[in-house]
């Protein structure tokens, strides 16, 4: 304790203390103890502040990872949807183009006669325009709007996970 006081107490006050003025020595001792207590509280506050910042950075990293997993899952589902939609459109075009005739004949003796005929490939403008112009544009436009909202990369305040990890690591190294 005496060494700590020698570091805090200026030489003039040290000389007065040596002279034997007990009141001033006690005041200096109280001030020194109060200063050390305040310094300890300040250090504790700084450590708590760093801990909170580290936890905040780790939570942001965890949220970014969760967001990335959701984006990956959604993008796979969108890709599968677009493949299914394209296949369905191709199927409708093929069915409309081949123009199959499906006839059901029911006879009195409960015998079903199903006849399936294909008359060659010929497609009118109406189903082609309706299918491609209306449905495809709407579906692809909707997907584009959703993807633009989901994968918004224009956020300037957003940091990359590597930046946040380096901040968290540098703060934990200071301890």
Structure tokens at 111: 């015998």
pLDDT tens for the 175 residues of the chain, in order: 455 555 555 555 555 555 556 666 677 778 888 889 999 999 999 999 999 999 999 999 999 999 888 888 887 887 888 788 888 878 877 777 776 665 555 555 666 666 666 666 677 777 777 777 777 777 777 778 777 777 775 554 455 555 555 655 555 555 5
3-state secondary structure of 112: strand
Residues 6+ apart with CB under 8 A from 140: 82
pLDDT value, residue 156? 43
- Angle between helix axes 22-98 and 161-174 (nearest 10 degrees) is 160
Cβ neighbours, 10 Å, residue 8: 15
3-state secondary structure of 39: helix
158 φ, ψ (degrees, to nearest 5): -75, 135
pLDDT value, residue 18? 53
pLDDT value, residue 56? 96
State how far the Cα of 69 lies from the Cα of 61, in Å rounded to an integer: 12
pLDDT value, residue 157? 47
Cβ neighbours, 10 Å, residue 71: 13
State how far the Cα of 18 lies from the Cα of 124, in Å rounded to an integer: 112
116 φ, ψ (degrees, to nearest 5): -125, 120
Cβ neighbours, 10 Å, residue 61: 19
Which residue is it, tokens 């075009």?
Answer: 93
């Amino acid at each position: 304790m005496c060494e700590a006081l020698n570091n805090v107490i200026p030489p003039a006050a040290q000389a007065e203390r040596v002279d034997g003025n007990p009141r001033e020595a006690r005041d200096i001792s109280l001030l020194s103890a109060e200063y050390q207590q305040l310094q300890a509280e300040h250090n504790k506050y700084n450590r708590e502040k760093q801990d909170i910042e580290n936890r905040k950075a780790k939570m942001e990293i965890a949220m970014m990872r969760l967001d990335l997993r959701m984006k990956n899952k959604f993008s796979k589902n969108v890709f599968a949807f677009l493949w299914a939609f394209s296949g369905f459109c191709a199927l409708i075009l093929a069915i409309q183009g081949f123009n199959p005739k499906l006839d059901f004949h029911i006879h009195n003796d409960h015998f079903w006669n199903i006849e399936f005929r294909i008359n060659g490939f010929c497609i009118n403008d109406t189903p082609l325009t309706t299918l491609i112009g209306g449905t495809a544009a709407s579906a692809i436009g909707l997907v584009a709007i959703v993807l633009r909202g989901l994968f918004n990369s224009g956020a300037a305040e957003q940091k990359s996970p590597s930046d946040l990890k380096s901040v968290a690591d540098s703060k934990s190294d200071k301890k």
